[in-house]
Amino acid sequence: MDKKTIYINYQVYHNKEEMPADLQKVVDAARKSSLNAYAPYSSFRVGAAVLLSNDIVFCGNNQENASYPEGLCAERVTLFAAMANYPQESIKAIAICGNPIHFQLPHPLSPCGACRQVMVEYENKFHHPIQVVMCTMSGECIVVESAKDLLPLQFSSNDLNGK
Ligand code: THU
């Protein structure tokens, strides 16, 4: 038996101004997009934005439904819409920002497991890591250099192909 440990590195920015300009742009877009979330059931608005390899910023937000499971997280709304419109552009970064209606989030929003899986799929499609920027509405942001950092030992198409 072997015992192994997985570590992740991440950066903590205390405010937006500390970040590189391209990340500031995508954080701004995610924060703004949270205001357009359709979250009448949870009141938990989430905004997301991706920075594509052509430098376009594409944003989205969570979309809920009276039949609860049919709703979709902001990250997947954004990733699927961006990839439907720009299928040849790799994704440089995704920013995510939680903006609940009834309280302020005390720490940056971390993406759910299903959204991490979808991010990893596009990393593999383009052989390019996606920086994941997890944000509050006005303060701290946490950045990991790859979605894989958030999903160790991930399942991928390699598994389907016996690799
Ligand atoms: N939600 C997101 O949009 N992204 C996340 O990473 C976590 C949760 C949404 C789904 C649902 O509309 C609401 O937040 C409450 O779970």
Note whether residue 92 is domain-resident. Answer: yes
Query: Could you tell me the residue range of the domain that residue 69 belongs to?
Result: 11-157
- Rounded to the nearest 5°, which phi and psi values hold at 127? 50, 45
- Residue located nearest, by CA, to atom 2 of ligand 1: 73
Residue 48 is inside which H or E element, if any?
strand 44-52
Note whether residue 163 is domain-resident. Answer: no
Note whether residue 101 is domain-resident. Answer: yes
Query: Mean pLDDT, the chain, as a whole number?
Result: 97
Note whether residue 145 is domain-resident. Answer: yes
Q: CB–CB of 139/14 below 8 Å?
A: yes
Note whether residue 1 is domain-resident. Answer: no
- In angstroms, what is the span from residue 43 Cα to ligand 1's centroid? 10
Per-residue model confidence (pLDDT) at position 74: 98
pLDDT at residue 91 is higher than 90:
yes
- In angstroms, what is the span from residue 62 Cα to ligand 1's centroid? 6
- Pick the catalytic residue: 75, 89, 121, 140? 75
pLDDT at residue 59 is higher than 90:
yes
Its pTM stands at 0.97
**CATH code, domain carrying 91:** 3.40.140.10
Per-residue model confidence (pLDDT) at position 16: 84
Q: Looking at per-residue confidence, does 15 or 72 come out higher?
A: 72
Per-residue model confidence (pLDDT) at position 96: 98
Note whether residue 2 is domain-resident. Answer: no
pLDDT at residue 10 is higher than 90:
yes
Note whether residue 71 is domain-resident. Answer: yes
Instruction: Kindly state if the Cβ of 42 falls inside 6 Å of ligand 1.
Output: yes
The atom of ligand 1 lying closest to the CA of 71 is 12
Per-residue model confidence (pLDDT) at position 90: 98
- In angstroms, what is the span from residue 148 Cα to ligand 1's centroid? 20
Geometric angle at alpha carbon 120, from 82 and 86, rounded to 5°:
20
The contacts of residue 2 (CB under 8 Å, 6+ apart) are none
Instruction: Kindly state if the Cβ of 123 falls inside 6 Å of ligand 1.
Output: no
Note whether residue 56 is domain-resident. Answer: yes
Instruction: Kindly state if the Cβ of 151 falls inside 6 Å of ligand 1.
Output: no
- Rounded to the nearest 5°, which phi and psi values hold at 107? -150, 165
Residue 76 pLDDT level (bands cut at 50, 70, 90): very high
Q: What is the mean pLDDT of residues 92-114?
A: 97
Per-residue pLDDT tens over the stretch 124-141: 999 999 999 999 999 899
Residue 143 is inside which H or E element, if any?
strand 141-144
Per-residue model confidence (pLDDT) at position 139: 87
Q: How far apart are CA 78 and CA 75, in angstroms?
A: 5
| Radius of gyration for the chain, computed over Cα atoms and rounded to the nearest angstrom | 16
Instruction: Please give the tally of structural domains in the chain.
Output: 1
Per-residue pLDDT tens over the stretch 19-40: 999 999 999 999 999 999 999 9
Q: Which residues of 127-144 are buried (b: 16+ CB within 10 A; e: fewer)?
A: eebbbbbbbbbeebbbbb
Q: How far apart are CA 24 and CA 131, in angstroms?
A: 13
pLDDT at residue 9 is higher than 90:
yes
Q: How far is CA 84 from CA 1, 73, 88, 108, 163, in A?
A: 45, 17, 10, 28, 28
